[in-house]
Chain A
Amino acid sequence: MSEQKNIFPRELEHEAIYIIREVAAQFERPALLFSGGKDSITLVQLARKAFYPAKVPFPMLHIDTGHNFPETIEFRDWLAKESGMQLIVRYVQDSIDLGKVQEETGKYASRNMLQTVTLLDAIEELKFDACIGGARRDEEKARAKERIFSVRDDFGQWDAKKQRPELFDMLNGKINIGENVRVFPISNWTELDVWSYIKEDGIPIPSIYYSHEREIIERDGMYWPASPFLNTTEDEVPFKATVRFRTVGDMTCTAAVLSEAVTIDRIIEEIKEATISERGARIDDKRSEAAMEKRKQVGYF
């Protein structure tokens, strides 16, 4: 294989570090929303660099749906330890037990929507005034318009028409009581930027991003990981295949891709040649054309 040259635009790293430092300076109680996916792992790396040689001055918050890949949870705990960051976990199961949300039914049942309630409760309970997230504008059309500092009201809602203008690099994080801000330091990164950064900085990632053998089922032309959380019909018979995950959410809403990519270089080559977009492997976005914007309006990350 030929030696690949460095392609990550370092300008993006400088921009993200600047934003993360603004969060620490402008807010009383920020938190880093950790999903276990490569984007939030990238955020942890950026936060560590932003305050080096000091420790990251805010915690990671993970909303555990209970349907995570076990590899994700294992990696999360390792990363918290390795980075010295405080890890706070809140559980969707608790929201279900308290009767705040109801489990979905049917073969497309997922806890993806339910986690919004758990997240908003956690923000209120822990009095977080800023949550740093790994959303990128290239992922989806509604995200393309979201600001870097995105103000949410008491109910966590996003109003696309009332966004604050963001001029140059000047970020205004002033908010009223009850409001909080979602911050997106890697807004301007693409999937390829994230992967080339992971490669060139040598950032560890969970094993499920690499090709491995796993039991899957086929549904709607996509491959779903077989798990006790996925409601299946009789004709959906699990079979073994060599796959990897391109995006990591819950086991109920993340489709696998057939892949032999066992190294980051191979993953990057795959992405460059890919014909399916990253979120194309997310069933939650396929519910309707405006699915993402509707979820954002009600407080989804």
Chain B
Amino acid sequence: MDVLRIATAGSVDDGKSTLIGRLLYDTKSITKDKLEAVEASSKRKGLDFVDLSLLTDGLIAEREQGITIDVAHIYFATETRKYIIADTPGHVEYTRNMITGASNAEASIVLVDARNGVSEQTRRHLFISSLLELETVIVAVNKMDLVNFDESVFNTIKENVEGIAQKIGFKGSLHFIPLAAKYGDNVVTLSEKMPWYTDKPLLEYLENLPVHAKDENLPARFHVQSVIRPHSEEYHDFRGYAGKLVSGTIEVGQKVIALPSLRESTVKAIYSGYEKVTKAHAGESLNIELVDDIDISRGNTLVIEGAPYQQVSTFTAKLTWMSEQPLTAGRTFLLQHGVNRIKAKVLSFGHVIDMNTIEEKSEVREFKLNDIGEVGIKTAKPIFADLYHDNPHNGAFILIDEYSNNTVAVGFIESI
């Protein structure tokens, strides 16, 4: 069974939590005791309906303030696949949470309130989906019941969103669905109230989205996490490299190159757990044995001989700043690329995007919390990275503050 990871962004006002609650409810993923708890809470609040949004808004602070402030993970499964929803808040001050939630997603659902049409939040969510190069964005035009299920309202929003997507440069596919999540219209079954919408309801659309479609066809990148040496009688001379094949495929007998040493060898065996396999695929955790005893350690990468790879030490990247303390040029950090950590310096700033308006600002002196923009970076030693656009699994990095140890930024390598 495969797993589809989806990010949702939006505020409570858009009915996002209600939509997720509805998906859980209609796929029978809520147990009776949870539903009863939500029914009781709804009654206490004096509501005349069961507020399905209460299923997802978890933290005490959130219940107090009535908003979603972090990434919540929600799980459900159908006969076809398992779903993981990373549900993030839509307000501008939680841009970092949105990026965090969307970083592992293959698709995002952007909610638009049919009454209000396209908002700054819509623009922001599209921008983040575009930044992360998500394959699919589903624009859920919700609360259609409050605009009399009017097709022209839906079409206007559709045109507006398409215009923004074009302006932002979103390259994935956009899909529009009119919803009334509170009543379940077009969520799992097609709505009788909107006969003009003849495409698939939301869940059916999700059921048919391809997962990890491109990863297999990218060049192989095996990130080494550690060296496995059993020191036992049976495996006396065994030396395996534990790690993750982040993209591509790898096979027993293939010639590989270890980076950065550039030493060559041949794949002798591939272990996936207790099993020996002859071929491994993108996303798998493996233990690879090579024919020759060459020096490989944590943070190194194995690539297939003959396939292109590149060594970089100075590059420009799109950076999202995630710390309260602003970023100034010239600061050094630990840069983590895959599992490899290396000292790096932020040399220069290009433009910054104002996340309120999605407008570019030049003459940037500092990056404030949630700012997204362009920076120049130099690493102390070369890393073997791809452009994020070419291979997202080998083209992103995080910055760690050496004093607080916090993760303060995420970057996407843009050009070398």
Offer 12 A-B interface pairs, CB within 8 angstroms, sorted by A.
A11-B283, A18-B244, A54-B232, A144-B74, A145-B72, A161-B70, A164-B406, A167-B103, A169-B104, A188-B73, A193-B82, A280-B33
Cβ contact within 8 Å between A53 and B400 = no
Cβ contact within 8 Å between B244 and A165 = no
Cβ contact within 8 Å between A165 and B100 = yes
The residue on B at minimum CB distance from A190 is: B75
Residues of B within 8 A of A138 (CB): 73, 75
State the Cβ distance, A137 to closest chain B Cβ, in Å: 5
- Say if the beta carbon of A170 comes within 8 Å of chain B: yes
- Say if the beta carbon of A187 comes within 8 Å of chain B: yes
With contacts A50-B285, A53-B228 taken as known, whether A11 is within 8 angstroms of B2 at the C-beta atoms is: yes
1/0 per residue B47-73: CB within 8 Å of A? Answer: 000000000111111010000011111
Residues of A within 8 A of B69 (CB): 161
Interface residues on B, range: 35 or more
Residues of A within 8 A of B238 (CB): 53-54
Cβ contact within 8 Å between A145 and B71 = yes
Cβ contact within 8 Å between B100 and A167 = yes
Residues of A within 8 A of B285 (CB): 13-15, 17-18, 21, 50
With contacts A53-B235, A138-B75, A144-B58 taken as known, whether A167 is within 8 angstroms of B398 at the C-beta atoms is: yes
The residue on B at minimum CB distance from A168 is: B103
- Say if the beta carbon of A230 comes within 8 Å of chain B: no
Cβ contact within 8 Å between B103 and A9 = no
1/0 per residue A1-12: CB within 8 Å of B? Answer: 000001111011
State the Cβ distance, B44 to closest chain A Cβ, in Å: 10
State the Cβ distance, B2 to closest chain A Cβ, in Å: 6
User: Which of B63, B97, B339 is close to A165, meaning CB atoms less than 8 Å apart?
Assistant: B97
* Cα of A145 to Cα of B242 in the assembled complex, Å: 29
Cβ contact within 8 Å between A8 and B410 = no
Within 8 A of B (CB), among A141-197: 141-142, 144-145, 160-161, 163-170, 172, 174-176, 187-188, 190, 192-193
- Say if the beta carbon of A22 comes within 8 Å of chain B: yes
* Cα of A192 to Cα of B240 in the assembled complex, Å: 33
- Say if the beta carbon of B407 comes within 8 Å of chain A: yes
State the Cβ distance, B224 to closest chain A Cβ, in Å: 10
Within 8 A of B (CB), among A33-68: 49-55
- Say if the beta carbon of B229 comes within 8 Å of chain A: yes
Cβ contact within 8 Å between A169 and B32 = no
Cβ contact within 8 Å between A142 and B225 = no
Residues of B within 8 A of A163 (CB): 70
The residue on B at minimum CB distance from A12 is: B3
Cβ contact within 8 Å between B400 and A174 = yes
- Say if the beta carbon of B96 comes within 8 Å of chain A: yes
State the Cβ distance, A54 to closest chain B Cβ, in Å: 4
User: Which of A14, A25, A54, A55 is close to B298, meaning CB atoms less than 8 Å apart?
Assistant: A25
Cβ contact within 8 Å between B398 and A53 = no
Residues of B within 8 A of A145 (CB): 58-59, 70-73
- Say if the beta carbon of B99 comes within 8 Å of chain A: yes
Chain A interface residues (CB < 8 Å from chain B): 6-9, 11-15, 17-18, 21-22, 24-25, 49-55, 137-138, 141-142, 144-145, 160-161, 163-170, 172, 174-176, 187-188, 190, 192-193, 274-277, 280, 289-290, 293-294
Cβ contact within 8 Å between A144 and B73 = yes
State the Cβ distance, A48 to closest chain B Cβ, in Å: 8
Residues of A within 8 A of B315 (CB): none
Cβ contact within 8 Å between A51 and B71 = no
- Say if the beta carbon of B178 comes within 8 Å of chain A: no
- Say if the beta carbon of B396 comes within 8 Å of chain A: yes
Residues of A within 8 A of B298 (CB): 25
Cβ contact within 8 Å between B58 and A53 = no
User: Which of A50, A142, A276 is close to B58, meaning CB atoms less than 8 Å apart?
Assistant: A142
State the Cβ distance, A288 to closest chain B Cβ, in Å: 10
The residue on A at minimum CB distance from B298 is: A25
Cβ contact within 8 Å between B230 and A55 = yes
* Cα of A18 to Cα of B284 in the assembled complex, Å: 9
User: Which of A8, A54, A289 is close to B1, meaning CB atoms less than 8 Å apart?
Assistant: A8
The residue on B at minimum CB distance from A163 is: B70
The residue on A at minimum CB distance from B82 is: A9
Residues of B within 8 A of A17 (CB): 273, 285
- Say if the beta carbon of B152 comes within 8 Å of chain A: no
Cβ contact within 8 Å between A172 and B407 = yes
Residues of A within 8 A of B33 (CB): 275-277, 280
Within 8 A of A (CB), among B237-263: 238, 240, 242-244, 246
* Cα of A293 to Cα of B244 in the assembled complex, Å: 33
Residues of B within 8 A of A164 (CB): 406-407
Residues of A within 8 A of B338 (CB): 170
* Cα of A273 to Cα of B84 in the assembled complex, Å: 21
State the Cβ distance, B202 to closest chain A Cβ, in Å: 21
Residues of B within 8 A of A289 (CB): 37, 41
- Say if the beta carbon of B322 comes within 8 Å of chain A: yes
Cβ contact within 8 Å between B225 and A25 = yes
* Cα of A280 to Cα of B85 in the assembled complex, Å: 23
Residues of A within 8 A of B410 (CB): 165, 167-168
Cβ contact within 8 Å between B58 and A174 = no
Residues of B within 8 A of A293 (CB): 58-60
* Cα of A11 to Cα of B104 in the assembled complex, Å: 13
With contacts A50-B242, A174-B405, A188-B75 taken as known, whether A9 is within 8 angstroms of B1 at the C-beta atoms is: yes
Cβ contact within 8 Å between A53 and B234 = yes
Within 8 A of A (CB), among B359-398: 393, 396-398
Cβ contact within 8 Å between A276 and B232 = no
State the Cβ distance, B137 to closest chain A Cβ, in Å: 19
Residues of B within 8 A of A7 (CB): 1
State the Cβ distance, B375 to closest chain A Cβ, in Å: 16
